[in-house]
Amino acid sequence: MRIDSYLEKLLFEYNCVVVPGFGAFLAHGKSAEIDLTTNTLVPPSKVISFNAQLTKNDGLLVSHISKEKNIGYEEMLKEVENISLDWNNKLSKGESIELFGIGKLWHNNEHRIQFQPEEKINFLTSSFGLSAFAATPIKREVIKEEVEELEERIPFIITPEKREQTSFRPWLKYAAVILLAVSMGVTSYRTYDDLQQKEVAAQQDAQQEVSRLIQEATFFESSPLELPAINLSVTKKKRGHHHIIAGAFREQQNAEKRVDQLKEKGYNAFYLGVNKYGLHQVAYDSFEDPQKALLFLRKVKVEDSRDAWMLSEK
């Protein structure tokens, strides 16, 4: 019997799971961090470690497996102890143990157990759906700094203005002012004329719309027909607050195609709606009980897609 699936499920809920006679798997909270070398933002997570000194049975793992398999506690305790004995024998022979979704164990040169955790699974339930995000650094413009540096290196020489033949310059100034005033007047007149034409056109459109509405109102008032009231009973499927998300799409058409594909596979898939990022979300199913949602999520990760995640609504 393999117990790694039971260990994985318990590590989502507890911070310490003891395998009697072998050791304990510990979950430590880790805050979000930024890797400056790769410019990657890593979300909060739980880091799994192993302690070979905690071998005393605390009843958590055995009780959970006996309840899941409907087997007596004492019988299950013996079976788990046999598994621990088998693991220890494999490690002493130089073999390694692969635990699905948890990590890998082996002996080092000093015959001490070494543990390499699985990095693809985040055991922090509040971080479901969050993945590492790589941000490209912003390259700001340095044109202003280059110009300032250029001004410091290259001197500007200001030559005095010649006063020769300046008697006609005042007349040029007055002519420029007059030309500007005439141009502004012509432009203002054209703008005013365009506004008047647009206002007349808008009034005509409004009158036509009012006439159309009056005709429709007259038609309905004079109609002797009275339509009977129709009572429709609509049954709305009640969904839970915990959704197992299959994906998010920019186009609603692609989301609807994904729903049809999942329904062909036997899932109760449905279109969840648009999230705050403008993406159309598709769900495998929804549950009211978070424990059932986690069990279904693990099943989906094994059978269909490891990218599935759980969205819990308040």
For residue range 96-141, what is the model confidence (pLDDT) as tens digits? 998 888 889 999 988 889 988 887 776 666 555 556 656 666 655 5
Q: Cβ(66)–Cβ(4) under 8 Å?
A: no
One DSSP character per residue, 23-35 reads EEEEEEEE--EEE
pLDDT confidence band for 37 (50 / 70 / 90): confident
Alpha helices by DSSP H, the chain: 4-13, 60-69, 73-92, 143-153, 169-222, 252-264, 290-303
Supply φ then ψ for residue 307, to 5 degrees: -90, 0
Q: With helix as H, strand as E and coil as C, how does 252-269 read?
A: HHHHHHHHHHHHHCCCCC
User: Which residue has better confidence, 296 or 130?
Assistant: 296
pTM reported for the whole predicted model: 0.40
pLDDT at 256: 94
Distance CA 162, CA 274 (A): 71
98 vs 200 pLDDT, higher one: 98
Report pLDDT for 224.
Answer: 45
